[in-house]
Structure 1
Amino acid sequence: MRIDGIVIGAEGPAKSYQDRIVLAAGLEEPGIVIREAAGRGAAAVIVRGPAEEALVVAEQYGVALLARAEWADWDDVATLLRSALAYAEAGRGDRMADVTAGGGLAALASVVAEFTGGSITIEDTQFRVLAHSATGPEADELRRSTILGGRVPDWRVDEMRRSGLLRALWSSSEVIHRPAEGDTPERLIIAIRSGREMLGSIWAAADDRSLTPNAASALSRAAEVAVPYLVQHRMRESAARRREEHALRVLLSGDGDMSTHAWSLGLSPDLRCAVVVAELDGPPGPGADRLMGALALQAASYRSEVRVLRELGRVTALLPIPHPAEGRDAADVRDPGPREAAALARELDTLARELAAHSRETAGRGGSTPDPGPVWVGAGSPVPSPLRAAASREEAGLVVRLLRRRGAATRWALATDLGPGLDVLRVLDAVRPIWERGGGPIHELIANGGDLVGSIAAYLDAGGDVTTAARRLVLHPNTLRYRLRRARERFGVDLDDPDTRLLITLAVRLVRKP
């Protein structure tokens, strides 16, 4: 049986499931999902558990039926399937795959070192070393410290991030070449991917010898062979990751026992932090998953202590911030909080724009990667403790909403950059339920006034100056005066009354939902 991948739940009516495994993870009856999947060419369907009716339907439509184990959730099932498919795709029959099958990533690192003539490290997306080849006396100091520490040092990750190397790694499927520079030897790097999902990377360092002529092709093959092992590594961590994601989600929402959630995440209660949010402009479409995955990786690589929550169309980063006295420059005791939050927000904006430009360029050459649309990035104000992270998260979300509403050319900002705009949004959010429960002439005006509403809004925005408002509306002042009279006569609103003007101003803002 040929398997080309997996799909989770029901997709659009025109979507083919040809030679794929369908996970019946939705609320539909298993029989309905099986019939739909069989009609679209699925090879198999996985349901929640043994079901006599599902088995009958599967036999009737000639599709294989599997049952999810009680101990596994759908993420576990998807990961197991990806691992199995990755093993099949990696194949056998060449020395690299055969040696790795008998010895895992450690064996892969050794055989790749032989093929490339370099020293090899295999890392996950958190830059933790999962395997490495033998380290000789000629190895550079960075390699030694990376292997001894079990992960790439933070200063080196920061350097790669600032140089743009990480952006290139997250967005490319090709081997990246870094020439020797000073004490740093020549290196080749390639990302390990399962489909669009970034799993880790392989690094080959020349040390005191030259890499072989076929080093790049050997590294490409190694990235294919490594996929199932990195998927397994991801699965081993999935339970702990889900617990951390839950703790972070609840901490950012301000619900439950904040101290317990902070402890689960390893965050000290007196750790200063700020929240940065990156959010797609509209509903997530094709290409959005890859974009948001790259942004999540970029945020996580900003510093090892950053906690990242990836949701549909949104990436939220909890950024630890040093106290003012802990600034990098001892002579500079200014609060580093805004500077740190701005740096991360700017990096996410830059990466989003670069990936969008790459998508447009690919589409222009006939590629299939669509542009997922603009991304807005907001940074909340620093708070003195992760127990108050929800306040910074709320501000970051308001920044995103305000930038989107304004259609600003700059797609990222700090909360402190936007003046009273955030307070206006808070007031509107508080007033909205009261307005929606009310009634009367102003409600009638807003609902049925048509062009009169826009004319009144322009008049109020101009501070009651008819000439200025008419110019903005491209109307004759007498036409605007006529419309204002019509509003008074038709809806009984008195625009000379300050309370009426206030309520109309709020109502207009409310119906223009940011």
Structure 2
Amino acid sequence: MDLSDTPNPPDLGGTSEELFALANAVAAVIGGSVAIEDLDHRVLAYSSVPGQRIDELRRRGILDRRVPDEPAPQRQYREVLAAPGVVRPPRLAPGELPRAAAAIRAGELPLGTIWAIEGDPGAGAAGDRALLDGARLAALHMLRRRSSAELGLRAREEALRAALCGDGGAQEIRFRLGLPERPRLTLLGCAPAAGGPDRAGPEVVRLGAAAARHWSAVHGEAAVATVGRTVYVLLPGAGPDEARRLAGQAVAALGRTLDTALRTAVSRPADDPAGLPALRAEVDDILRVTTADADAPEVAALTDVHARVLLLHCADALERHPRLRHPGIEAMRAHDRTRRTAYAASVVAWLDAAGNVGEAAQRLTVHPNTLKYRLRRAHELFGIDLGHPDVRLSCWLQLRLAD
């Protein structure tokens, strides 16, 4: 099928005929096939000028209505979006024709990219001007097409943000978010994992914008809002299994787009919109655990990390109320620091082994009698009665959280 001779389709994914005419105008100057794409790499419009240069990669993109999702092209897109002018990326495969590309922006807001296969010979300065003019005009058309839809999305974003902060009653929230009388709600929270780019900076802004585009495409009733360092997604009508499946797809897609590791938390289902602040607190607890752990699952519910969430809340309570700490534990840890003893490590090992002296001694690589001596001295020196189950629990918690 020779796509260079096909007529312009009247509409592709909601884009206007004007974008197709614009692609043709740029192709007429440059001599090769031109494609206009959004930030999700969907082909919004393409040229159909007779005799234009075209290769198999461009044909695939037009037929599939999107560019193949592979790592090397993703890096090229990031380069184009970051550049102020025309970029000529290296060819990635045999048979691929040389390309020139430019970012489509509205001010500092990225909207997409425009790609042209260069004619033979290249169009030079005239081609660059045509490509940059095409990017500028494409931005105007794309903004016009987006404006009405974005007004509705922005209103839902503000409504969700207010609901997550506890503003408004259930009836008002249902009205503003367009929810039924007894909705089935699941809240997702998404944030970059630790060790990646600055979560408080532009990375979160990019994540919020990419998440809004993704969820508007895969779940028409979803509402998306960024609060602080987290992007929240409200999924009406989605059960736990569906929410988890959609969350996994979103993490994979957004992680590739942003080239960063992401974590997503899935709340329990609820039917009261006024309970959204509680769902947000649950999601925040999960993300507090998973974003700090490189080995944590990309998608998690409270049941997956319950023990670690509980320990974090215990740590918060001890931080807020230092008087709750066992004074003997503090004294024992100070003794270990100043005198290079190992009472705390010995107590923890014994508690971790559920009182099995042999197993704990093996972990510590000491003789069992040495461990027994240390446990006895911990009682004598610091008043820690390890014979009482409540004391054992409180001591283990305090020592575990200190580590």
Q: Normalising to structure 2: TM-score of the pair?
A: 0.62
- Aligned residue among 393, 396, 421 for 2:283: 396
Residue segments in structure 2 that go unaligned for 5+ positions in a row: 1-15, 50-63, 81-86, 92-98, 337-341
Q: Which has the higher contact order (CA 8 A, sep 6+)?
A: 2
Cα distance in 2 for residues equivalent to 1:200 and 1:338 = 29
Matches within 5 A, 1:358-397: 375-384=262-271, 387-397=274-284
Does the 8 Å contact 2:101/2:131 carry over to 1? no
Change in 2 beyond 3 A, CA 1:292/1:231: farther
What residue is the counterpart of 1:316 in the other structure? 231
1:113 and 2:113 correspond: no
Cα distance in 2 for residues equivalent to 1:442 and 1:258 = 49
Does the 8 Å contact 2:189/2:233 carry over to 1? yes
What residue is the counterpart of 2:132 in the other structure? 221
Q: How many residues align?
A: 344
What residue is the counterpart of 2:112 in the other structure? 201
Amino acid at match of 2:246: E
Change in 2 beyond 3 A, CA 1:161/1:134: closer
Amino acid at match of 2:387: D
Alpha-carbon displacement from aligned partner over 1:48-67 (angstroms, at most 9, x marks no partner) = xxxxxxxxxxxxxxxxxxxx
Matches within 5 A, 1:36-75: none
Change in 2 beyond 3 A, CA 1:291/1:508: same
- Aligned residue among 355, 358, 361 for 1:467: 358
Does the 8 Å contact 2:100/2:115 carry over to 1? yes
What residue is the counterpart of 2:214 in the other structure? 302
Does the 8 Å contact 2:191/2:291 carry over to 1? no
What residue is the counterpart of 2:7 in the other structure? none
What residue is the counterpart of 1:171 in the other structure? 78
What is the deviation of 1:284? 6.2
What is the deviation of 1:415? 0.9
2:346 is paired with a residue whose SS is helix
Change in 2 beyond 3 A, CA 1:111/1:441: closer
What residue is the counterpart of 2:204 in the other structure? 292
What residue is the counterpart of 1:260 in the other structure? 172
- Aligned residue among 183, 186, 191 for 1:273: 186
1:438 and 2:324 correspond: yes
What is the deviation of 1:242? 7.2
Cα distance in 2 for residues equivalent to 1:377 and 1:284 = 17
1:418 is paired with a residue whose SS is helix
Matches within 5 A, 1:473-512: 473-512=364-403
Cα distance in 2 for residues equivalent to 1:479 and 1:350 = 53
Change in 2 beyond 3 A, CA 1:351/1:116: closer
What residue is the counterpart of 2:248 in the other structure? 342
Amino acid at match of 1:436: P
Alpha-carbon displacement from aligned partner over 1:89-137 (angstroms, at most 9, x marks no partner) = xxxxxxxxxxxxxxxx9999856531224687686889998xx89999x
Cα distance in 1 for residues equivalent to 2:279 and 2:68 = 25
Cα distance in 2 for residues equivalent to 1:236 and 1:389 = 27
Cα distance in 2 for residues equivalent to 1:258 and 1:168 = 45
Alignment RMSD (CA, Å): 5.2
Residue segments in structure 1 that go unaligned for 5+ positions in a row: 1-104, 137-155, 179-186, 325-333, 357-373
Cα distance in 2 for residues equivalent to 1:452 and 1:223 = 72
Cα distance in 1 for residues equivalent to 2:158 and 2:333 = 42
Cα distance in 2 for residues equivalent to 1:341 and 1:317 = 11
Cα distance in 2 for residues equivalent to 1:383 and 1:163 = 38
Alpha-carbon displacement from aligned partner over 1:5-49 (angstroms, at most 9, x marks no partner) = xxxxxxxxxxxxxxxxxxxxxxxxxxxxxxxxxxxxxxxxxxxxx
1:342 is paired with a residue whose SS is helix
1:398 is paired with a residue whose SS is helix
Does the 8 Å contact 1:309/1:317 carry over to 2? yes
